[in-house]
Amino acid sequence: MRKQIIIGNWKMNGSLLSIKSLCELLNQVARAHQHADMAVCVPHVYLPYVAENIKGIGLGVQNISQYDNGAYTGEVSVSMLKDFNGEYVIVGHSERRALFAETNQDVALKAKKVTEAGLSAIVCVGETLSERTSGTLREVLKHQLQIVLDKLTLNQLRKTIIAYEPVWAIGTGLAATASQVQEVHAYLRSIVTNFHVELAQDIKIIYGGSLKPSNANELLSLADVDGGLIGGASLSAKDFGEIVKQAKPTKYSIN
């Protein structure tokens, strides 16, 4: 059994005031629903505050430098994240790939940096609408995932979570259908199976893209879905709590 994990991606949202009440409410959610793991990935500047004010919730960020330290103006390192008890890093979110030109190679280097420090990398993969409609979905996903499998050691991959996030579903209100999600998750797991059977049984593959209270039950019930990466709905403790409530233990199904 893999325990599901529900991760909030706050993106570049919030203020000290809004985060204060969000943390208080999220602590209540974590206390009430311990059947699933919970984490929030916050803007770097709020790390110290959130680290001090959440309980029973994992803490992470949305991006990290692929370098250790030095003349990299504007970057934040893994060791800085560790100073504030950060445990998770979202790597290769489609917004970083599209708006900040992150390549598959960058994503693999960052995932390696995060996991070799003992933290968890949430590696995002996902196709654009045109890649889906033109029939290159599997090729695109395989390419995005394989480079990570090839660059990381087995122990580093054990610290990796895969997030399937179809680009066309992010922030659009239009989630992928249950059959689309299960098909892709099973495909991603089969790629990991070809690489290492035991890893494939253990690795978490979570779904992100307009996941909300109204579709959480259906999507989180799917055999190969091990949780969710939540953008918009993670800014509301009520919605996030509703999603966490609907998380369940997942059985693995190797195809």
Residues that bind ligand PEP (CB under 6 A): 9, 93, 165, 170-171, 208-211, 229-233
Quick one: tokens of 193?
């199976």
**Which residue among 93, 102, 131, 185 is the active-site one?**
93
Q: Reduced to 3 states, what is the DSSP secondary structure of residue 162?
A: strand
Identified catalytic residue from 95, 102, 165, 242: 165
Residue number with CB closer to ligand PEP (176 or 200): 176
User: What DSSP state is assigned to residue 9?
Assistant: E
Please identify, using beta-carbon distances, which residue of 58 and 200 lies nearer to ligand PEP.
Answer: 58
Please give the Cα distance from 251 to 234 (Å, whole number).
25
What's the number of CA atoms in the CB half-sphere (13 Å) around residue 50? Answer: 30
C-beta of 37 vs 200, nearer to ligand PEP:
37
165 is catalytic: yes
Count CB-CB contacts under 10 A for residue 146.
16
Q: How far is the CB of 93 from ligand PEP (least distance, A)?
A: 6
Give counts: helices (H), strands (E), the chain: 12, 8
Report the nearest approach of ligand PEP to the CB of residue 20 (Å). Answer: 22
Nearer to ligand PEP among residue 127 and residue 200 (C-beta): 127
**Dihedral of CA 214/250/223/231: which sign?**
positive
* Total residues found in the chain within this entry: 255
Q: Which is nearer to ligand PEP, 60 or 200 (CB)?
A: 60
Minimum CB separation from ligand PEP for residue 97, in Å?
A: 12
The end-to-end CA distance of the chain, in Å, is 16
> Cα–Cα distance between 87 and 173 in angstroms, integer?
29
Identity of the residue, 181 or 200, whose beta carbon is nearer to ligand PEP in the bound complex: 181
- Is the CB of residue 226 less than 8 Å from the CB of residue 18? no
CA–CA dist 228, 222 (Å, integer): 12
Handedness of CA 67, 73, 78, 82 (dihedral sign): positive
Task: Find the shortest distance in angstroms from Cβ 169 to ligand PEP.
Answer: 6
Q: Coil, helix or strand for 89? A: strand
Residue 219 CB, nearest approach to ligand PEP (Å): 11
State the nearest-atom distance from the C-beta of 124 to ligand PEP, in Å: 7
- Residue 33 among the catalytic residues: no
Residues annotated catalytic, as ranges? 93, 165
